[in-house]
Amino acid sequence: MHPTFGPPSTGKKTVKSSPAPAPERRTGSLSLVLVLGLAAMVVSMMQTLVIPILGIIQNNLGATTAQVSWVTTATLLSAAVFTPLLGRLGDQRGTKPTLLAVLVVMVAGSVLAAATSSMLWLIVARVMQGAATAIFPLALSVLRAEVEPARLPGAMAMVSGTLGFGSGLALVSAGLLTTGANPDYHQVFWLAAALAVAALIAVAVAVPAPRTRTGGRTDWLGAAGLALLLVLLLLPISQGHTWGWTSARTLTLFAGAAVTAVFWALVERRVSDPLVDMKMFVHRPVLFTNVAGLLVGFAMFTQFIGVSYLVQTPSEIAGYGFGASILRASVLYLLPAALVSLVAAQFGGVLVRRIGARLTLAAGAAFGVVGFAWLTLAHDTTASVILAGMVVSVAISFGYAAMPALIVAGVPHHQTGIANGINSISRSTGSAIGSAVITSILASKTLDNLPAGAPALPAESQYTLGFALAGMAFVLVIAVAMVGLAIRRRSPSPVIDTPAPSRDGATEPARARTAVTA
């Protein structure tokens, strides 16, 4: 039987049974939250740690620009393929064993990346690291099962806050480890391996074994269809600026994604135990949250890439920029924002409890509008760039605190992993779009009359345009949050955790709804 949204029908005849009472929810210790936060932080580091060192990798391995771009693309595609599948497996087979398996793969991928000097094997290693993106939705599933409802928003906010902090920390660490006359990218991956091992040990010790598992068959056809859809969609998004947005290859892949989406949706509606319950997929709180996730991911990567390129632009040649080294760009311009994001996430959790997740999301987006307006109008001083980046980090942290709460409040307990997995993919998709858009914007208009031998540099107006688009993304987040709030007030439809199918075909007792204010 499919889990449904809303109260179970009372008109159908049911078979009486006397299942054992559901185990009492544990209070959830601070150490558990910190361990899951460490695991989530390592995940976000895997996504951004290569951004400052792509040029070093290209030089060390003698690769072309097109080849080195796959160091980021491979991770993105791997995350898109494995996150929803592993989130679903966590729901079915248990979160702790799935978490441990993913962490082992991440450790192996990090060691391989640190040890190899082959572009092919480095890309394979990045595929393995990309699978680690599933750790975040799995961590949220553990929190929902182990933390009492009153403390859940704060716990989710703390774990979610480590995503923004980890992304910034990776950029700073990469800058610190690649200073000097002969920078070596291998050191960055050895750091990643060490952190992954620490997270693996901590999870093995601190995360309790799952007390319930929904079981059921794995929808491999649905998983394959979703994987193909995401690859067909994300590949041209990430490579379109290299291939050309109107090239036959790009347009063919986008068309293939559209056809695959229709086929996949039809398959999922007919499978008895689907990977993604389509009712959940189009459920308005989930749908609106995924749209918000895409927009926040877009804005976040626009900030990372835009600010990194802007501050490293030599002012004596371009007439703007600060001529910062990778180290100075990371420590001076990006580290303050990373630190602010970690603190702001805790305030986000408090706001979720007090005013609700939707208003918290809208409030965070308002900070994003202010921050990017600041970057758009005044990016000519160091203080402006740093302070504006800190304001944007508050927006991202509030968004990360609010979105898991909206997902948890909008889906049954036994769909937490897959629902948060889809939300993670929406943010990854937004990040890919943001990366592609800002890269294309900067490359579309370059300065004339540069000195002989100088690299092509974007016109300053292109940074202004990119930051303005990111600000508009946050305007849309405000609109999404307020529309969702208006719909909820007009026709509230609370989710009730319906019995989840167990491995023997019976049903497990329904859990009480998690008390999260949406």
Domains in the chain, CATH or no CATH each: 30-209+277-446+456-490 (1.20.1250.20), 220-276 (no CATH)
Q: What is the pLDDT, as a whole number, of residue 214?
A: 58
Task: Please tell me what DSSP assigns to residue 333.
Answer: I
518 in Cβ contact with 405 (< 8 Å): yes
How far is residue 140's CA from residue 189's CA, in Å, rounded to a whole number? 26
The answer on pLDDT for 250 being more than 50 is yes
Q: What is the pLDDT, as a whole number, of residue 516?
A: 52
| Per-residue pLDDT reduced to its tens digit, 500-516 | 444 444 444 444 444 45
Query: What percent of the chain shows pLDDT beyond 70?
Result: 88
Identify the top-confidence range among 54-68, 228-242, 385-399: 385-399
Contacts of 48 (CB under 8 A, 6+ apart): 166, 167, 168, 170, 171, 304
The answer on pLDDT for 397 being more than 50 is yes
- Buried-exposed string 399-430: b where 16+ CB fall within 10 A, e elsewhere: bbbbbbbbbbbbbbbbbbbbbbbbbbbbbbbb
The answer on pLDDT for 138 being more than 50 is yes
Q: What is the pLDDT, as a whole number, of residue 384?
A: 96
Assign 458 to helix, strand or coil.
Answer: strand
Q: What is the pLDDT, as a whole number, of residue 509?
A: 40
How does residue 390 score in pLDDT terms, banded at 50, 70 and 90? very high
The answer on pLDDT for 193 being more than 90 is yes
Q: What is the pLDDT, as a whole number, of residue 497?
A: 39
The answer on pLDDT for 267 being more than 60 is yes
Q: What is the average pLDDT across 236-252?
A: 87
How does residue 386 score in pLDDT terms, banded at 50, 70 and 90? very high
Q: H helices within 411-515, ranges in order?
A: 416-444, 460-490
Residue of 16 and 209 predicted with greater confidence: 209
How does residue 212 score in pLDDT terms, banded at 50, 70 and 90? low
Residue of 338 and 371 predicted with greater confidence: 371
Task: Please tell me what DSSP assigns to residue 320.
Answer: S
Q: What is the average pLDDT across 129-148?
A: 87
| Structure token digits, residue 228 | 């193909």
Residue of 239 and 22 predicted with greater confidence: 239
Residue of 217 and 197 predicted with greater confidence: 197
Residue 63 has φ and ψ, to the nearest 5°, of -95, 160
The answer on pLDDT for 498 being more than 60 is no
Q: What is the pLDDT, as a whole number, of residue 115?
A: 95
| Per-residue pLDDT reduced to its tens digit, 57-72 | 988 888 887 778 788 8
What single letter denotes the amino acid at residue 301? F
How far is residue 95's CA from residue 508's CA, in Å, rounded to a whole number? 17
Q: What is the pLDDT, as a whole number, of residue 233?
A: 87
| Radius of gyration for the alpha carbons in the chain, expressed in angstroms and rounded | 23
Residue of 493 and 162 predicted with greater confidence: 162
Q: What is the pLDDT, as a whole number, of residue 492?
A: 53
Q: What is the pLDDT, as a whole number, of residue 49?
A: 87
For tokens 């799995």, name the residue: 138
How far is residue 95's CA from residue 79's CA, in Å, rounded to a whole number? 18
Nearest to 197 by CA among 39, 433, 85: 39
Measured CA to CA in angstroms, residue 6 lies from 366, 493, 506 at distances of: 32, 7, 21
| Per-residue pLDDT reduced to its tens digit, 71-99 | 888 887 888 778 888 877 887 778 899 99
Contacts of 366 (CB under 8 A, 6+ apart): 395, 474, 478
Q: H helices within 207-334, ranges in order?
A: 220-243, 248-270, 278-282, 284-312, 315-318, 326-328
Contacts of 135 (CB under 8 A, 6+ apart): 39, 40, 42, 43, 99, 102, 103, 106
How does residue 456 score in pLDDT terms, banded at 50, 70 and 90? confident
How does residue 1 score in pLDDT terms, banded at 50, 70 and 90? very low
Task: Please tell me what DSSP assigns to residue 1.
Answer: -
The answer on pLDDT for 454 being more than 80 is no
Measured CA to CA in angstroms, residue 93 lies from 89, 227, 381, 411, 420 at distances of: 6, 20, 53, 19, 16
Q: What is the average pLDDT across 379-395?
A: 95
213 in Cβ contact with 220 (< 8 Å): no
Q: What is the average pLDDT across 117-125?
A: 93
Q: What is the pLDDT, as a whole number, of residue 211?
A: 66
State the Cα torsion 290-296-302-307 to the nearest 10°.
-160
The answer on pLDDT for 207 being more than 50 is yes
The answer on pLDDT for 445 being more than 70 is yes
How does residue 361 score in pLDDT terms, banded at 50, 70 and 90? very high
How far is residue 335's CA from residue 390's CA, in Å, rounded to a whole number? 9
| Per-residue pLDDT reduced to its tens digit, 286-317 | 889 999 999 999 998 899 889 988 998 998 88
For tokens 């491999």, name the residue: 220
Assign 507 to helix, strand or coil.
Answer: strand
Question: Of the given ranges (8-22, 23-37, 274-288, 333-347), which has the lowest mean pLDDT?
Answer: 8-22
Q: What is the pLDDT, as a whole number, of residue 451?
A: 80
199 in Cβ contact with 103 (< 8 Å): yes
